[in-house]
Amino acid sequence: MSPVLDIRDLSVAYRTPSGDVRAVSHVNLSLSPGEVVGLCGESGSGKSTLAYGATRLLRPPAVITSGEVLYSGKRTGSPVDLLQMSHHALRQTRWADIAIVFQSAMNALNPVLRVRDQILDAIKAHEKMPKADAHEKAASLLDLVGIPRDRLRSYPHELSGGMRQRVMIAMALAADPEVVIMDEPTTALDVVVQRDILAQIVELKERLGFSVLFITHDMSLLLELADRIAVMYAGQLMELGSSAALKDSPAHPYTQGLLQSFPSLRGARRDLAGIPGSPPDLRDLPKGCPFVPRCGHAVDACAEVDMSLIPVPGARAAHVTACPIVLPGAAQPAPASAPAEGALS
Amino acid sequence: MTMLSTAPATELPGARAGARPGALSGLAATWRRLPATAKAGAFLLLFFILAAIIGPEVAPYAPGLQTPLANEAPSGAHLLGTTATGQDVLSQLLTGIRLTLELAFWVGVIATALAVLFGVTAAFLGGIWDELLSLLTNVFLVIPALPLLILLLGLMPGKGQLPTILVLSGLGWPWGARVIRAQTLMIRNRDFIAAARETGEHSWRIIVFELIPNEVSLIAASFVNTVLYAIGASVALAFVGLADLTSFSLGTILYWAQSGNALQQSYWWWFVPPGVAVALIGTALVMLNTGIDELGNPRLRDVRNATKIAGRRIWPTDPTPVVGAANGHRGKLASFLHSFSRGSLLEEEPADQAPLKKAGELR
Amino acid sequence: MQFILRRLAFYLVAAWVAITANFFIPRALPGNVVEAIMAKNPDLEPSAQKALEALLGVGNQGSLWHQYVHYLNQVFTFNFGPDPINYPATVNQMLSQEVPWTLALVGISTIIAFVIGTGLGILAGWRAGGRLDKSLPAWMFVQGIPYFFLALVFIEVLAVKFQVFPIGQGFNAEYYSPGWNWGFISNAIDHSILPALTIVLTSTAGWMLQMRNVMVTTIGEDYVVAAQGKGLTNRRVIFTYAARNAMLPQLQGFGLALGYVVAGALVMELVFSYPGIGLQLLNAVGNDDYPMMQAIFLLITFAVLVANLLVDIVLVLVDPRVRAREVAR
């Protein structure tokens, strides 16, 4: 099955007077129809930049320095490259093919327009229909996410955080997209509401059949929600595989570190280990693997790694990692410091 | 805070909690980041400040010296001509620049000090004091200044430099106070202030050493704005005769030019130079202000920095452009020099795969 | 609605401060101000002198509080006293002739300048870095020119040299007299073009620079990016999403800046000999006509306060969050 969204070798940089900040470097990621792919990483890892760069929503001084973003959906037939499109074609593709649910709904909704008008905007931009039909569609979108219809007349500041996020989701579905990119949709909400929203998302996905690219820093969410998970660090992909594979046998030291940062309700008690250090300066990336300063397994050979994704030996489904040094089953060099608990099976 | 449209912040202007970089290197870094307009404004202002300092010393004549050569056009002896009483316009101009700048500077200092005092106090004390001070500030803001100034100076017996400075300062602080109060309210709740409080630092020490360094760009902007207001107001007041008419500030020169009917008689050299001087000083200050604005508002800087990429202009509503390869890293000196170059954003050839189409379409 | 009431209360306080300042200033100054007036206008009648003394607090007028109440009474009945210079006319009579001129000129010019400036500012924000932006330093220069100086230049070039416009005055008194006939009105308009042009040119620069900065900030907001992501047309993004929001701080700035606009216009009236209250104020200063000065100061202050209140009302209509904020208090 050909992927509905295929990001190939995408690089995004911010052009500043002191050089380019490489926010995303040569990332390959694809999304199949009906699939949920999680994109995980710390702040500054480039995960949001990847999504917005792919849809070309980034503002100057951002530039895209390499790659293609191929979309092949029902509407288009053969794959088209978003990076090659004219602004006009791009505008038609946005929302109708690829929609985005933005982080922090309070900021992503126009404060002076009613909810109804904002949803109508999204509908009218992509489909010509009589006013009454458009209104009915807007109302039914709110029904989809479980918000009372009379909220159409509200302004964004009159809604609670959870409601606003649901309005964002409803709006994203206004033009029947095939791909929905969700950028930290639940980060600003409390845990209970988080659960609600996530359940809603899953239900809608089942019902309407769109693919989801779910961006978050919360790995535990993805382990439950996503079919496949991609782990990003310093603008590059570290590991990519099914969520089961990542949970049971994470291959990359960074993934292992992330998994260790979350407590688990079940299982034996263990000490929580974070990942010491901080992300690198994206203007001045070191040669080879960017994770070296914080990696407990770093050796000299790490500076020569070319960061291409190689299959994990012995994996069931496609499971790739960028670290050729630390592989389950490969010969292990003596670690520089004591390995974290339970790092390698 | 948006996550999309600003480049990853490299340094926060002036607001690094606890870390106060050496003053000189901090200043150099700030200068480098200013837009060309602000730099030009700074140089222009510097020119006038120099004129104010050494001008009257090198003036060819005493400004009040009357000669029989009345209303003469510019000539070798009088580079800017003479007034109706034969006084040298150039000498008067130089004196005027000094007097006007002096007055404006003092008003700036006093009014800004008052603004900081009222603004920080109101924000720090909170509660009823805040309400009262805010009310006072807003009342003074909304009452139109110039008519009140005219009334005050009109009724006062003495209209010289000192009363003018006092009166202008008295009415010039509210604007800055409001802005500073808003900023202080925001900063007051930040962690490092709470931390300082916890360790028992006295309030005034917190204010002077922790709070104010973080508001430097705001205070600078307030100062520049106040100076701008002082120049405009003092020149206007002098023009209508509400100043010490025996002195030679730029405004009084204009007053005498008006009384001497320089306008009707087309003695342009009498009223054009002082007017242009006022306009240029004002322009320099506004230009400088754009630089200060940018320091406080990174979005303005982003827009300036990056709207021309790979030889094409990129509007905010355009999709992210697709160019060729990324650029390498520049060292500190290289990027400093580079920032002066005109083509500092015309990096490389547009991607060579396809010819560029007209604006609005890319690739 | 509550918001409007609170603002109204605020403006009443401000007005009271202005009135009280007006009351105290002549009393706080040294010297006998009435004597100065009498010296300049020897043919004033004793009743006028008495009225002036009462107004300005000279001589034995009873307790301060008593004077204050009396003064408040006068203000509320719009009795500003006799006009020493144009005796026997009262201040009221003089002002009622002059107010319409200033109101028309300043009111219309300011609105035109605001509309043009804001429109240009929206464009400059949209096309940040473009040709309009390049011309910003020129606009800054225009903004720095004092109104009256520009007025002088205009008169010199356009009225005297090229004789395109009349040199000054409100109308040509040789041929026309005030009345609702087309001849007079067209002549009045002819005479007001240069002053209006002066105001429009200088203040447009200010509005434009301000709006541009607000637009640039607003365009960077998430909801504008979200609007682009929705695939809306540029026009809709810029106007309904960006400009609509940017107008709010711009309007607030308008209220604050009104005082300065009016101030500049006053001095400019002097240059054009335009028969408005600005010219009257400045003449009064020259003649030590204190009652007139006080009255005009109050009048201008009240006008600015009323205009600010109107701006507040517009803000309430345009910004839905204002109502909510007040409800939440």
Measured CB to CB, residues of chain C less than 8 Å from chain A are 220-223, 225-233, 236, 240-241, 244-245, 248, 318-321, 324
Amino acid making up residue A256:
Q
B321 and B288 both lie in a single domain: no
End-to-end CA distance of chain C: 13
Q: pLDDT > 70: what percent of chain A?
A: 90
Number of domains in chain B: 2
B196 and B50 both lie in a single domain: yes
Q: Do C301 and B144 touch (CB under 8 A)?
A: yes
Q: Using CA coordinates, name the residue in chain B closest to C258.
A: B144
With residue C65 as reference, give the H or E element that holds it: helix C64-76
**pLDDT digit string, tens, across residues B119-167:** 888 887 778 888 888 888 888 888 888 888 888 887 777 778 888 898 8
Contacting residues for C123 by C-beta, under 8 A, at least 6 apart: C132
* Cis? peptide before C249, omega within 30° of 0: no
CATH number of B52's domain: 1.10.3720.10
Q: Do A48 and B4 touch (CB under 8 A)?
A: yes
Q: Is residue B168 part of a domain?
A: yes
| B225 to chain A, closest Cα gap in Å | 29
Q: Is residue B7 part of a domain?
A: no
Parallel, antiparallel or unpaired: strands A179-183 and A228-233: unpaired
The pTM (predicted TM-score) of the whole model is: 0.80
With residue C142 as reference, give the H or E element that holds it: helix C136-144
Q: Using CA coordinates, name the residue in chain C closest to B144.
A: C259
| A64 to chain C, closest Cα gap in Å | 17
Beta-strand ranges (E) seen in chain A are: 5-16, 19-31, 36-40, 62-71, 80-81, 98-101, 179-183, 211-216, 228-233, 236-242, 310-311, 320-321
Angle at B120 between CA B118 and CA B122, to 5 degrees: 65
Q: Do A95 and C231 touch (CB under 8 A)?
A: yes
Which residue in B227, B237, B272 sits closest to B45, CA to CA? B227
ipTM: 0.82
Chains that touch C (3 or more CB pairs under 8 A): A, B
> Residue B328 sits in which domain range?
309-362
B297 and B340 both lie in a single domain: no
Q: Is residue B11 part of a domain?
A: no
d(CA C33, CA C16): 24
| A168 to chain B, closest Cα gap in Å | 16
Is the pLDDT at A336 greater than 50? The verdict is no
Q: Is residue B18 part of a domain?
A: no
| B361 to chain A, closest Cα gap in Å | 5
Is the pLDDT at C271 greater than 90? The verdict is no
B300 and B313 both lie in a single domain: no
- Say if residues A225 and A198 touch (Cβ distance below 8 Å): yes
pLDDT classification of B114: cutoffs 50, 70, 90? very high
Question: Which of B304, B319, B348 is where one domain is finished?
Answer: B304
Chains that touch A (3 or more CB pairs under 8 A): B, C
**pLDDT digit string, tens, across residues B73-91:** 777 777 778 877 888 888 8
d(CA A227, CA A205): 13
Q: Do C25 and B155 touch (CB under 8 A)?
A: yes
User: CA C238 from chain center: how many Å?
Assistant: 31
Class of the domain covering C94-298:
mainly alpha
d(CA A44, CA C245): 29
B88 and B225 both lie in a single domain: yes
Is the pLDDT at A334 greater than 50? The verdict is no
- Say if residues B44 and B283 touch (Cβ distance below 8 Å): yes
B interface test, pick of A59, A95, A106 with most B CB neighbours within 10 Å: A59
Other CB atoms closer than 10 Å to residue C182's CB: what's the count? 7
Amino acid making up residue B189:
N
Give the start-to-end residue ranges of the domains of chain C: 94-298
Q: Do A63 and B321 touch (CB under 8 A)?
A: yes
d(CA C301, CA B69): 46
Q: State the sign of the Cα–Cα–Cα–Cα dihedral B201, B205, B210, B215.
A: positive
- Say if residues C105 and C276 touch (Cβ distance below 8 Å): yes
Residue with tokens 């008295």: B170
* pLDDT higher at B44 or C175: B44
Q: Is residue B28 part of a domain?
A: no
Query: Which of A268-272, C152-156, C310-314 shows the lowest per-residue confidence on average (mean pLDDT)?
Result: A268-272
Contacting residues for A52 by C-beta, under 8 A, at least 6 apart: A58, A100, A183, B4, B320
Q: How many residues does chain C have?
A: 329
Q: Do C126 and B156 touch (CB under 8 A)?
A: no
B204 and B296 both lie in a single domain: yes
Among candidates A91, A102, A175 on the partner chain, residue whose Cβ is nearest the Cβ of C226: A102
Which residue in A158, A320, A163, A299 sits closest to A246, CA to CA? A320
B124 and B78 both lie in a single domain: yes
**pLDDT digit string, tens, across residues A41-92:** 888 788 889 999 999 998 878 889 889 999 987 777 788 888 888 888 888 8
Q: Among the residues of chain A, which ranges form H helices?
A: 47-54, 87-96, 105-108, 115-124, 131-144, 161-172, 191-208, 219-225, 243-248, 253-260
Residues C89-116 have a mean pLDDT of 85
Amino acid making up residue C24:
F
d(CA A154, CA C320): 10
For residue A63, which residues of chain B lie inside 8 Å, CB to CB?
309-310, 320-323
DSSP B84: T
B128 and B235 both lie in a single domain: yes
Residue with tokens 């790995």: A219
Contacting residues for B189 by C-beta, under 8 A, at least 6 apart: none
| B64 to chain C, closest Cα gap in Å | 23
For residue A99, which residues of chain C lie inside 8 Å, CB to CB?
229
Among candidates A22, A52, A60 on the partner chain, residue whose Cβ is nearest the Cβ of B309: A60
Which residue in A227, A288, A231 sits closest to A36, CA to CA? A227
User: What are φ and ψ of residue A22, in 5° steps?
Assistant: -85, 95
- Say if residues A170 and A152 touch (Cβ distance below 8 Å): no
| C267 to chain A, closest Cα gap in Å | 40
Q: Do C294 and B151 touch (CB under 8 A)?
A: yes
Q: Is residue B161 part of a domain?
A: yes
Please tell me the predicted confidence (pLDDT) of residue B57: 84
Amino acid making up residue B180:
I
Q: Using CA coordinates, name the residue in chain B closest to C217.
A: B299
